[in-house]
Amino acid sequence: MSAPKPFNTIATAVAFSPNMEANVSESVRIKEMLGKQLILIHIGEKKEEEAAGLEQVLRETGCNMQEVRVIWENGDPVNAILRVAEEHQVDLLIAGALPREGLLKYYMGSIARRLVRKSNCSVLLMTRPSKLKATCGIVVVNGLDHPKTPYTVKIGAQVAKNLGSTEMVVIEELDPAKAGKNYDSDKQLEKVNRQRQELQERAINRIREMIHNLPEDIRPPSIKEKVIFGKKGYTIGHYTQTASADLLVMNSPDTKLGFLDRVFTHDLEYILSELPSDLLIVHSTEKTTF
């Protein structure tokens, strides 16, 4: 049984490229599982031949044409996409993204990553869109001690359940320095280890409470909790890659990410620089209760 759909309106930008059919097919599939309406945004002047081609691709997916809308926009791609998202109250933007960006692209900012940094809604970055239906295996969700996290965990669970995920792992990243990093004796080492254990137990208990509060109808088959000591962003990204997870779900940044976040790396920027899997950034503005 599917969980309630977490999004109402989903939007994605489409371009007439070799990947168009795969992008449209994947967007329709995601809309069927996660949302109610789909908006396809094409940047550029509307041409009848292109409009007919796009409609044909949509019909081949077998989607309900009444639930799909195509909007033609002009201007800078990022600004145009964000304008449509704002005007039509889009809940989730889908964008294709290369798993890894070169240094110049990273600092200049690709369209997908610029959407993450400027968007006021959730964003799903897909690294491997496909025309073929595929199941989702492991979903990793951040379990940070932050007011946004309960909502992110809830959306992560709904997404995992609706995508047919076999396992969801909620991960907290703890700074090793919080337990002390200097020790010159066995006694100091024992103190550091004890503090680490206490930090770990508190984090585990907090995550378990969030999991316990999840409604039964949105729970994927398996939910696990895990605490890792390491640098925020880098550690969860490494775990996602090592575990061969299909999706990483993260909190949205508290403020819009800018150039300085890329120079003095923000935790989310570690993920954006080298995507370990598909990435869902969950937009929320306040603490959520179940």
pLDDT of 213 higher than 80: yes
Domain co-membership, 2 together with 112: yes
pLDDT of 136 higher than 90: no
**Of the residues 114, 133, 152, the one at which a domain ends:** 133
Q: What is the mean pLDDT of the chain?
A: 83
Matching residue, tokens 């696990």: 224
Q: What is the pLDDT of residue 175?
A: 85
Domain co-membership, 129 together with 258: no
Burial of 253 (0-12, 13-18, 19+ CB in 10 A): middle
Domain co-membership, 175 together with 119: no
Q: What is the mean pLDDT of residues 107-134?
A: 72
CA of 74: how far to CAs of 46, 52, 71, 81, 163, in Å? 9, 19, 10, 10, 33
pLDDT of 216 higher than 60: yes
Q: What is the pLDDT of residue 181?
A: 61
Strands in 9-14's sheet, in edge-to-edge order, are 68-73, 37-43, 9-14, 92-96, 122-126, 278-282, 247-251, 138-142, 167-174, 223-229
Domain co-membership, 82 together with 168: no
Q: pLDDT by residue (tens digit) across 20-65?
A: 888 888 899 999 999 999 999 988 888 888 889 889 989 988 989 9
**Of the residues 106, 133, 160, the one at which a domain ends:** 133
Domain co-membership, 221 together with 178: yes
pLDDT of 133 higher than 70: no
pLDDT of 258 higher than 50: no
Domain co-membership, 199 together with 212: yes
**Of the residues 133, 163, 179, the one at which a domain ends:** 133
Q: What total number of domains does the chain contain?
A: 2
Residue 54, both tokens: 């796009």
Q: Which residue has the higher pLDDT, 174 or 262?
A: 174
Where residue 65 sits, what CATH number does that domain have?
A: 3.40.50.620
CA of 80: how far to CAs of 19, 68, 125, in Å? 21, 19, 18
Q: What is the pLDDT of residue 158?
A: 95
Most confident of 21-35, 91-105, 113-127, 182-196: 21-35
Where does the pLDDT of residue 96 fall: very low under 50, low under 70, confident under 90, or very high at 90 and above?
confident
Least confident segment among 131-135, 168-172, 201-205: 131-135
Domain co-membership, 139 together with 10: no
pLDDT of 288 higher than 60: no
Domain co-membership, 99 together with 139: no
Residue span of the structural domain in which 32 resides: 1-133
Residue 236, both tokens: 């969860």
Domain co-membership, 129 together with 159: no
Domain co-membership, 144 together with 271: yes
pLDDT of 225 higher than 60: yes
Domain co-membership, 253 together with 149: yes
The pTM (predicted TM-score) of the whole model is 0.85
Domain co-membership, 121 together with 142: no
